[in-house]
Amino acid sequence: MTDIESLQAYGGQLAEAAESATASAKKQHEYVNGDASTDVLTESGSVPSLAKQVVLGQAKVNASLEEVASQMAGAMTYANTTLGLAGTNNEGYFSVPSPESSEYLVLYQNKSGAALEVKRYPSANAIFSRNIWYDPFGETLASRPLLGFGT
């Protein structure tokens, strides 16, 4: 191959590289500047534009927040079962302060508009009065100051 033929072949390679770079730049421009509904067709498949990725990501965040809010609704404490039923969906959980001094809360489940008692939680006084908390040395924590952290 002569020098001229080599230069012509090299020129052809440069032209192909320039075409490829131009096509890639167009794809990158679509990817970066596309709107929230744009998908860019690439060699490895369809890729959402940056704006579309932001919209899709925000939708996922919103869905997650709604799920957490729905779960937190069951953590609510209401003054009475009537308010608890009004504030929860069917199958949702809610708590009501117990009228008993030995209990703290009563957990209910909303079963088609009726409050189904699930469990009762003891008060701190009830726990300490039964001396059921022990430290590693077998002493009851209720008999020690500051829950066993004092002297």
pLDDT, position 151? 45
pLDDT, position 4? 77
pLDDT, position 24? 84
Which domain range does residue 28 map to? 3-68
pLDDT, position 78? 94
- Do the Cβ atoms of 37 and 21 come closer than 8 Å? no
* Strand order, beta sheet including 114-122: 93-97, 103-111, 114-122
Q: Are residues 44 and 9 in the same domain?
A: yes
Q: Which of left, alpha, beta for 16 (phi over 0: left; psi -120 to 50: alpha)? A: alpha
- The residue out of 35, 68, 101 marking a domain boundary is 68
Q: Are residues 89 and 26 in the same domain?
A: no
Number of domains in the chain: 2
State how far the Cα of 75 lies from the Cα of 68, in Å rounded to an integer: 11
* Residue tagged 């957490």 (tokens): 68
Two tokens at 91? 């199958």
Average pLDDT of adjacent 10-residue blocks, the chain of 151 residues:
75 83 86 87 87 87 80 79 92 92 92 95 80 57 51 45
pLDDT, position 14? 83
Burial of 55 (0-12, 13-18, 19+ CB in 10 A): middle
Q: Are residues 41 and 87 in the same domain?
A: no
Distances (CA, A) of 7 to 14, 17, 102: 10, 15, 95
- The residue out of 30, 53, 68 marking a domain boundary is 68
3-state DSSP call for residue 104?
strand
Q: Are residues 63 and 92 in the same domain?
A: no
Two tokens at 54? 């932001």
Give me the phi and psi of 124, to 5 degrees please. -60, -40
pLDDT, position 129? 72
DSSP string for residues in 69-95: HHHHHTT-B-SSHHHHHHTS-TT-EEE
Q: Are residues 27 and 80 in the same domain?
A: no
pLDDT, position 57? 87
